[in-house]
Amino acid sequence: MVGLLNVGSLVLGLIAWLLPVVSLMRTTKHRAALSIMSLSACAISLILQIYYNYHLVQIEDWAALMDTIRGVVVAATVLLIGTLLLNTISLLVYRRNIY
């Protein structure tokens, strides 16, 4: 069951990136709601990774933790920066279309 934390994190990370792209591709009035859902999916994705690392610490699997932590840090950084950039672009395009 613990392996599902990684799958859930990956799926939510993809959702976090897809929602602003959908917002950019479609003319919808719900851009702010999609942006909030995207940021929420990113946050939940990151917390699932924290729970997985917590599980590794609890079972004292130090080798797995040391092998994966660098990749987790890089992936979390890319996910967060990508999500923030996509949502910023989406909101800037929305704002430009209003005026």
pLDDT digits (tens, 9 = 90+) for 4-62: 999 999 999 999 999 999 998 887 778 889 999 999 999 999 999 999 999 999 999 99
Model confidence at 95, pLDDT cuts 50, 70, 90, reads confident
Selection from 2, 5, 89 nearest residue 47 by Cα: 5
Give the domain extent around 14: 3-98
Tokens of 88: 């910023």
How much is the pLDDT for 98? Answer: 66
CB crowding 12-38: b at 16 or more within 10 Å, else e = bbebbbebbeebbeeeeeebeebbebb
Dump pLDDT digits (tens) for 70-84.
999 999 999 999 999
What is the pTM (predicted TM-score) of this model? 0.90
Radius of gyration of the chain, Cα coordinates, nearest whole angstrom = 16
Model confidence at 94, pLDDT cuts 50, 70, 90, reads confident
- Provide the number of structural domains found in the chain: 1
- HSE-up (13 A, CA, CB side) for residue 67: 5
